[in-house]
Structure 1
Amino acid sequence: MPDKQSRELFLLEKFLPTLFAETPFSLSQPKPPLPDFIIQVEGKKIGIEMTALILNEESREREAKQDAILDEAQRLFEARSHLPLQVTVGFSEAVDWSALNRKPIAAFLAGIIESSVLAVKDLPQNQAQFDIRIESFIHSHIHSVGIFYLDRLTTPCWSPITSFWVPDAPVAKIQEIITRKSNNISGYLTGCDEVWLLILETGSPSSYFDRFEKLQDTIFESGFARTVIGRISKGDLIEL
């Protein structure tokens, strides 16, 4: 199964128990022009089309590049060391992320982490645990690094820390998404009896919003039988 389909299924499964309660169903992932999922339940085929609630494409591009830097830095570090580290990296937001060569930044990051770990890991007091904060270096894209080791934590985790503000749930953006997706409803309905739209707040900074409750006072124009927002960070569904 392609990565995109695997991720979509992983995200949808968080909400299936709420969407269908205890009712037995079967699930398939068809190809376009059908929706992302077909759920067969109680003799009916329900299509579910999924899309992400993203503040803007620039934010999503920045996050993807930060993740790519961390993936590459982790690979470089773990090629030389088997320590399962918990690494957090503070990235600078006020830089140009559009034209970026991630490899030099990843190599710099892996090098600074390796040298910092080598300086402390063999000390007697650090055999079971150590914690390192690095904030004294200058780099255009990175302003801080946190490194934590605990011998009970055997799975490494390298994650970004980005500063961002959390705006109110964007009514106009949500209507824009609904309108854009509604243009494809005739294609979706070639393989199902009705189609639902699931808009996901995915849990990345560009999709975080606040005051979703105000959406209940808004009437959205939608051609879908159901239009819902799924909040990965909260695990709840908001019916529009």
Structure 2
Amino acid sequence: MKRVFSDEDLVKNLNLYYLNRHLKKKPIERYHREIDSSQLHDREKYKKKSEILLLNSFLHHFPEVTFENLTCESPDFIAKIDGKKIGIELTEVINNLEIKKIECQMNKIFRQAELLLEEEDTPKHRGVYFLEFIPLTMQMITDKQEEITQNIIKCITRKKASGFVKKIRKSHHRRNVFITHDYNLSLFDGLSSEKIIDLIHKKNQKYPFYDSSVDECWLVIVSDMNSLASRFSFIQNKEDLHKIKSPFHKIFHLENLCGNLVHIK
């Protein structure tokens, strides 16, 4: 079976979160070690560790949280908050599915360029490179994968944008070469409240199958602002979110870059 993830990808995700001043580093590292020591399949370990990264900003709003079970399913985690046993179900909202497909393909190109740069001279190229590209379609990425890879390497080596790369900036990184998309936000990047509501309805259907031993079950919907496909600058028709009916005791929407939390229920 083809692997759809790698330990290297997760390490690079963790490194990206380290650049975020909101990251609670020590707890995250401890949680990852606990997940690693579990009996979960490698694929499930990867999923759990990625979920914990998404949940990180949530921990700043509930600093007293202690996890009782990091490796359960339905809900994803069981924690103690204010003396209560809380089940936490985590789900990510994708703002643009087409961009998600493009982003996945570009991430593969980034990994290839990183490896080639590290093979050439890791100390020389070490750093985090934020790249902004000219508009790219899936067809262009598929047809010109090698050309885009070499273009990225050339821009990083020469420290100058050209070709497919519209803009490049670099941050310090003490270990490896890490390439990612730039974080520029558009004032017009709206997240439809309907997408959040649809997710809530889907989770409502699964609610009867969640662990009934918990005192409360919370739903945390995350917008991964490190992803082009998920980032947004405002929620459209935000007032519609508060009309939702759900058996979950509390529902939140979280964006994980600045940690802004919307209490839906």
Given residue 229 of structure 1, which amino acid in structure 2 is its aligned partner? Answer: H
Tell me the equivalent position of 1:47: 87
Using structure 1 for the length normalisation, give the TM-score: 0.74
Using structure 2 for the length normalisation, give the TM-score: 0.68
Does residue 211 of the first structure (1) align with residue 263 of the second (2)?
no
- 8 A Cα contact 2:106 2:141, kept in partner: no
Tell me the equivalent position of 2:53: 10
Q: Please show how residues 5-44 of structure 1 align to structure 2 within 5 Å.
A: 5-19=48-62, 21-22=63-64, 25-32=66-73, 34-41=74-81, 44=84
Given residue 158 of structure 1, which amino acid in structure 2 is its aligned partner? Answer: I
Q: Could you say what secondary structure the match of 1:199 adopts? A: strand
Aligned-residue offset at 1:195: 1.1
Does residue 221 of the first structure (1) align with residue 245 of the second (2)?
yes
Q: After TM superposition, what 4+ stretches of structure 1 lie above 6 angstroms from structure 2?
A: none
Tell me the equivalent position of 1:67: 107
Q: Which runs of 5+ in 1 are unaligned?
A: 118-131
Give the alignment's Cα RMSD to 1 decimal: 3.2
Aligned residue pairs total 215
Does residue 239 of the first structure (1) align with residue 263 of the second (2)?
yes
Aligned-residue offset at 1:37: 0.5
Aligned-residue offset at 1:85: 4.1
CA distance in 2, matches of 1:98, 1:222: 43
Aligned-residue offset at 1:226: 0.4
- 8 A Cα contact 2:110 2:149, kept in partner: no
- 8 A Cα contact 2:102 2:137, kept in partner: no
Q: Could you say what secondary structure the match of 2:243 adopts? A: coil
| Bigger Cα Rg | 1
Tell me the equivalent position of 2:13: none
Q: Could you say what secondary structure the match of 2:229 adopts? A: helix
CA distance in 2, matches of 1:147, 1:208: 20
Which deviates the most, 155-164 or 179-188?
155-164
Aligned-residue offset at 1:111: 5.0
Given residue 252 of structure 2, which amino acid in structure 1 is its aligned partner? Answer: V
Q: Could you say what secondary structure the match of 2:48 adopts? A: helix
- 8 A Cα contact 1:76 1:107, kept in partner: no
Q: Which runs of 5+ in 2 are unaligned?
A: 1-35, 37-44
CA distance in 1, matches of 2:173, 2:193: 42
Given residue 168 of structure 1, which amino acid in structure 2 is its aligned partner? Answer: G
Shift in CA distance, 190/90, structure 1 to aligned 2, threshold 3 Å: same
Structure number having the greater helix percentage: 2
- 8 A Cα contact 1:185 1:223, kept in partner: yes
